[in-house]
Structure 1
Amino acid sequence: MKILRIILQLAALGFSAYVLWTQNFTLMPYVMLMLGMFMLVAGFEKIQSDRKEFWGYMFVLISLFIFFVSAQGFIVNA
């Protein structure tokens, strides 16, 4: 789970750096999708730990919102 989180974190960072460098904002839904997947994995990682933290559930809720925003971005850009 930790390796997947790091891969998603680097992918989101790479996509965002590319978007900022080229000023090509059509890739923004992909950045949001990667960020949503990262937040979802981080939330599940916190929930699966011995202490069931509030922030684990909050990360999952935030990731659902980010998925919704990403889906809207895909629909608007299509």
Structure 2
Amino acid sequence: MLLKILQLVSSIIVISLSAYGLITRDYQLNFLMIFFLGLFMLILGIKEFQRERSIYGWLLIAVCLFALFVSIQNFIYL
């Protein structure tokens, strides 16, 4: 239940930041969008591990780590 709530909250944050960037053409908050997208992928990876689909779980964890790395890099060089 908690994972479902976190998944919903992170997806709403990602969609709202994406919409803000598209409407205003201000892309300074992209690092936050990528960060929350990484958290969303982490939640999906945990859910896949719970469903005993470990290959997809590891793939989503790897995508999560890459997204968090890109987000941190964008924040540092902002």
Query: Is 2:64 the counterpart of 1:63?
Result: yes
Rounded Cα–Cα distance in structure 1 between residues aligned with 2:32 and 2:12: 13
The residue matched to 1:25 in structure 2 has which SS? coil
- Unmatched tracts of structure 2, length 5 or more: none
1:16 maps to a residue whose letter is S
TM-score for the superposition, normalised by structure 2: 0.91
Rounded Cα–Cα distance in structure 1 between residues aligned with 2:22 and 2:77: 20
Residue of structure 1 aligned with 2:25, choices 8, 23, 26? 23
1:54, distance to aligned residue in structure 2 (A): 1.4
Structure 1 residue ranges, 4+ long, deviating more than 2 angstroms after superposition: none
Match of 2:36 in 1: 34
Rounded Cα–Cα distance in structure 1 between residues aligned with 2:35 and 2:58: 19
TM-score for the superposition, normalised by structure 1: 0.91
Query: Is 2:74 the counterpart of 1:73?
Result: yes
- Would you say how many aligned residue pairs link Structure 1 and Structure 2? 76
**Structure 1 vs Structure 2 CA RMSD:** 0.9
- Unmatched tracts of structure 1, length 5 or more: none
Match of 1:12 in 2: 14
Overall identity of the aligned pairs, in %: 33
